[in-house]
């Protein structure tokens, strides 16, 4: 639902006025725990496979800053970075993925300068009204500043997606010096992906540092490594939900001479190939890194839920090494999901 003038005013008052900022992690044993990929029992009141009522959250309850006007130096040039993400629920556990764009052989977030002159004029008008003893409530002036910020944000979003910013997508922002990283939840949106756009999962951003061989901008890697609150989905009780690992599926083979599978860009792999490995039959094998870098933009990428501990082998996942490369073995299709 796009913003009308009246709905924009109500939204800004609700979300920007007197917003509390909560970026601290609670020191609680349960909240510091991590939910790994689950083997669901027949009855489970909290987590159910493909349950639309699965209770999880990401950047909710005032986790981020909301007030752009607070202690702002309007004579400083600021930049908006759009952190657009989607919650993928196609696997046994949900996971978050961020939309990045390829610019100058680097994966980056969409970025634009804020027009600071508009903010300066708003503040000068406020000072002028005060000097003339005109009645003016502070929250009304704050509303004008925040409305201007959201107006520029909405315009930038339209330039990227050719439609208005959805009403409930804005979650707030993080700030690093002159950079304002705005987080937008686009889970409900059916975006038309452009050729220079790719989704990246948190494992690629935090650990791998690249998307299909293209380096992720260091400022993005630093942002996610320095802010714990954006590193995991959580249950409503506060426990972290395990992030999937990036994996590259192995093509069908009769030996251990593994090769990754490639397709056209953004092509969905309808029937993933299976292989045998030792006592395991008809399993899906993924390499943790691309086995070669030719035509790497067309490699099939997957979010894979696998155990971190190879000593705890199960019937569903296991790890093994060949030629100094880590591989994942997965027996169930609901433990991996293709990333486009």
Mean pLDDT of the chain: 82
Which pLDDT belongs to residue 6? Answer: 55
Which pLDDT belongs to residue 186? Answer: 96
The rounded percent of the chain whose pLDDT value lies above 90 is: 56
Q: What are phi and psi of 183, to 5 degrees?
A: -100, 125
For residues 323 and 133, the model is more confident at 323
Q: Give yes or no for residue 29 having a pLDDT over 70.
A: no
Which pLDDT belongs to residue 265? Answer: 75
Tell me the C-alpha distance between 234 and 244, whole Å.
14
Per-residue b/e over 140-153, b at no fewer than 16 CB within 10 Å? ebbbbbbbbbbebb
The rounded percent of the chain whose pLDDT value lies above 70 is: 76
Tens digits of residue pLDDT in 171-230: 999 999 999 999 999 999 988 888 899 999 999 999 999 999 999 999 999 999 999 999
Q: pLDDT class for 330, splitting at 50, 70, 90?
A: very high
The structure tokens 């009769």 sit at 254
Q: Give yes or no for residue 38 having a pLDDT over 60.
A: no
Tens digits of residue pLDDT in 112-124: 999 999 888 887 7
Which pLDDT belongs to residue 285? Answer: 97
Global pTM? 0.80
CB atoms within 10 A of CB 22: 13
Which pLDDT belongs to residue 1? Answer: 46
Q: Give yes or no for residue 13 having a pLDDT over 90.
A: no
Tens digits of residue pLDDT in 220-268: 999 999 999 999 999 888 888 999 999 999 999 888 789 999 998 778 9
Count Cα neighbours of 144 within 13 Å in the Cβ-side half-sphere. Answer: 14
Rounded average pLDDT over 73-101: 94
E strands along 56-144, which residues? 56-57, 79-88, 95-103, 106-108, 111-113
Which pLDDT belongs to residue 286? Answer: 98
146: enclosing H helix or E strand: helix 138-161
Which pLDDT belongs to residue 80? Answer: 96
Tens digits of residue pLDDT in 293-303: 888 989 999 99
Which pLDDT belongs to residue 19? Answer: 40
Which pLDDT belongs to residue 172? Answer: 92
Q: How far is CA 313 from CA 2, 10, 309, 316, in A?
A: 49, 53, 8, 8
């Amino acid at each position: 639902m796009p913003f009308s003038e009246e709905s924009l005013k109500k939204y800004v008052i609700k979300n920007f006025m007197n917003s509390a900022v909560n970026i601290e992690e609670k020191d609680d044993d349960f909240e510091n725990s991590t939910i790994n990929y689950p083997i669901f029992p027949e009855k489970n009141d909290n987590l159910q496979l493909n349950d639309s009522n699965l209770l999880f959250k990401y950047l909710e309850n005032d986790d981020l800053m909301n007030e752009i006007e607070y202690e702002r130096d309007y004579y400083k040039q600021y930049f908006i970075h759009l952190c657009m993400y989607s919650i993928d629920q196609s696997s046994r556990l949900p996971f978050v993925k961020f939309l990045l764009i390829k610019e100058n052989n680097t994966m980056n977030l969409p970025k634009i300068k804020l027009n600071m002159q508009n903010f300066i004029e708003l503040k000068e008008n406020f000072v002028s009204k005060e000097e003339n003893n005109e009645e003016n409530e502070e929250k009304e002036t704050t509303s004008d500043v925040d409305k201007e910020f959201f107006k520029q944000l909405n315009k930038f979003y339209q330039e990227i997606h050719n439609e208005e910013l959805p009403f409930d997508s804005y979650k707030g922002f993080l700030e690093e010096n002159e950079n304002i990283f705005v987080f937008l939840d686009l889970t409900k949106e059916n975006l038309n992906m452009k050729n220079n756009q790719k989704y990246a999962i948190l494992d690629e951003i935090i650990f791998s540092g690249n998307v299909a061989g293209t380096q992720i901008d260091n400022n993005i890697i630093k942002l996610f490594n320095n802010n714990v609150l954006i590193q995991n989905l959580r249950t409503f009780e506060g426990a972290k939900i395990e992030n999937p690992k990036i994996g590259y599926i192995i093509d069908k083979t009769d030996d251990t001479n593994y090769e990754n599978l490639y397709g056209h860009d953004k092509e969905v792999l309808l029937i993933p190939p299976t292989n045998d490995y030792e006592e395991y039959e008809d399993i899906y094998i993924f390499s943790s890194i691309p086995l070669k870098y030719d035509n790497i933009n067309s490699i099939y990428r997957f979010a894979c839920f696998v155990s971190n501990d190879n000593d705890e082998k199960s019937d569903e996942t296991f790890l093994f090494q060949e030629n100094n490369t880590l591989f994942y073995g997965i027996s169930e299709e609901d433990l991996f999901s293709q990333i486009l």
